[in-house]
């Protein structure tokens, strides 16, 4: 388990800033087709903090990861008021309850995300619990807030619904006073993107979501999955997220099998982290294509296992 304060940006008055904590992937069994150990992507959580209070964005998967993140948050010496969850995937919130209890914080999300969280609970035994141990019991305790807005020491925090990205009903957190977007999985940074849930419908909705993030005119974007060695430059991460989808569309036309797609992506993105997610994406995209008429959710889930 490792972590870092990767970066800090403050507003003009110095009262508002953000820091990012990155959890390394939890231990996992199995190998990828190229012989590498299977490994999930690094998971980022963001602390937006004022002089006394703070808000956390996204909570990791396992109790060990939550302990590491919680110790880091505690070290910041702020009163954690809220934990905002960007979307329903378990790797962004299964430990939200643990952290909420530890700090006496409220868990907040949009109604759409809350609906997706219930779906994640229903399917966890078929997916996450087969891959990783140490995921705590996770009840959905998140609440929606009026107009999807809340505040931190008077600064606006806005939940912006961006629709389908790597799953349905996803959101980002816009912090106008920091020119910051905490993007969940709408934007990636140096990590293979999870494309499995775009196997039906394609990447058009995700491209629209990227446009919505860009329209907020952020200078900084924190991606939910990222390489800690990279910065949060908004222009670069927006462009690279679009390019990854364009490349995927091209490779879906030129590559015949999931393995061909996997190998071709690695050739184009040799430094990207999270090759297990690439393999899952490839299997889901080609699995749905090769098995028309089958239950899509089942095909996508099987691609993880
Ligand atoms: Zn994720």
| Ligand 1 centroid to residue 224 C-alpha, Å | 6
Q: Mean pLDDT of all residues in the chain?
A: 95
Asked whether residue 11 carries a pLDDT value surpassing 70, the answer given is no
| Ligand 1 centroid to residue 77 C-alpha, Å | 27
Residues with CB under 5 A from ligand 1 (ion): 89, 91, 185
| Ligand 1 centroid to residue 122 C-alpha, Å | 17
Average pLDDT of span 67-72? 98
pLDDT tens for each residue of 220-276: 999 999 999 999 999 999 999 999 999 999 999 999 999 999 999 999 999 999 999
pLDDT tens for each residue of 138-161: 999 999 999 999 999 999 999 999
Q: Angle at the Cα of 83 (from 186 to 4), degrees rounded to 5?
A: 75
| Ligand 1 centroid to residue 136 C-alpha, Å | 17
User: 15 pLDDT band (50/70/90 cuts)?
Assistant: confident
| Ligand 1 centroid to residue 14 C-alpha, Å | 31
The confidence score (pLDDT) of residue 170 equals 97
- Orientation angle between helical segments 234-254 and 204-215, nearest 10 degrees: 170
Asked whether residue 9 carries a pLDDT value surpassing 80, the answer given is no
Residue 94 has what DSSP assignment?
T
| Ligand 1 centroid to residue 202 C-alpha, Å | 19
User: 292 pLDDT band (50/70/90 cuts)?
Assistant: confident
Q: How far apart are CA 242 and CA 51, in angstroms?
A: 36
| Ligand 1 centroid to residue 101 C-alpha, Å | 23
The confidence score (pLDDT) of residue 7 equals 62
| Ligand 1 centroid to residue 88 C-alpha, Å | 9
| Ligand 1 centroid to residue 12 C-alpha, Å | 32
Q: How far apart are CA 273 and CA 263, in angstroms?
A: 14
| Ligand 1 centroid to residue 2 C-alpha, Å | 18
Please give the order of strands across the beta sheet that includes 53-57: 9-10, 17-23, 43-49, 53-57, 79-84, 106-108
pLDDT tens for each residue of 188-226: 999 999 999 999 999 999 999 999 999 999 999 999 999
Asked whether residue 6 carries a pLDDT value surpassing 70, the answer given is no
| Ligand 1 centroid to residue 13 C-alpha, Å | 33
Asked whether residue 14 carries a pLDDT value surpassing 80, the answer given is no
Q: How far apart are CA 160 and CA 210, in angstroms?
A: 12
Determine what percent of the chain is predicted with pLDDT higher than 70. Answer: 96
| Ligand 1 centroid to residue 277 C-alpha, Å | 10
| Ligand 1 centroid to residue 253 C-alpha, Å | 26
């Amino acid at each position: 388990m490792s972590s870092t304060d990767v970066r800090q940006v403050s507003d003009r008055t110095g009262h508002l800033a953000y820091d990012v904590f990155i959890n390394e992937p939890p231990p996992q069994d199995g190998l990828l087709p190229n012989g590498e150990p299977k490994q999930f992507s690094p998971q980022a959580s963001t602390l937006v903090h004022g002089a006394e209070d703070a808000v956390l964005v996204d909570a990791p998967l396992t109790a060990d990861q939550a302990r590491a993140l919680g110790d880091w948050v505690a070290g910041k010496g702020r009163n954690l008021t809220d934990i905002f969850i960007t979307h329903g995937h378990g790797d962004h919130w299964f430990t939200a309850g643990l952290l909420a209890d530890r700090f006496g914080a409220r868990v907040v999300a949009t109604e759409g995300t809350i609906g997706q969280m219930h779906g994640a609970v229903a399917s966890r035994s078929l997916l996450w619990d087969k891959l990783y141990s140490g995921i705590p019991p996770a009840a959905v305790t998140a609440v929606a807030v009026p107009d999807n807005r809340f505040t931190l020491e008077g600064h606006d925090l806005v939940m912006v619904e961006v629709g389908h990205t790597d799953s349905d009903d996803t959101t980002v957190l816009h912090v106008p006073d920091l020119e910051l977007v905490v993007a969940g999985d709408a934007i990636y940074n140096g990590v293979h993107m999870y494309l499995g849930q775009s196997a039906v419908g394609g990447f058009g909705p995700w491209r629209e979501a990227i446009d919505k993030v860009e329209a907020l005119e952020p200078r900084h974007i924190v991606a939910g999955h990222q390489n800690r060695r990279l910065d949060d430059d908004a222009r670069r991460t927006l462009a690279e997220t679009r390019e990854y989808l364009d490349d995927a569309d091209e490779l879906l036309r030129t590559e015949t099998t999931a393995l061909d797609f996997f190998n071709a992506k690695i050739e184009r993105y040799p430094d990207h982290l999270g090759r297990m997610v690439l393999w899952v994406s490839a299997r889901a995209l080609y699995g749905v294509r090769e098995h028309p008429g089958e239950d899509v959710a089942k095909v996508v889930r099987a691609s993880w296992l």
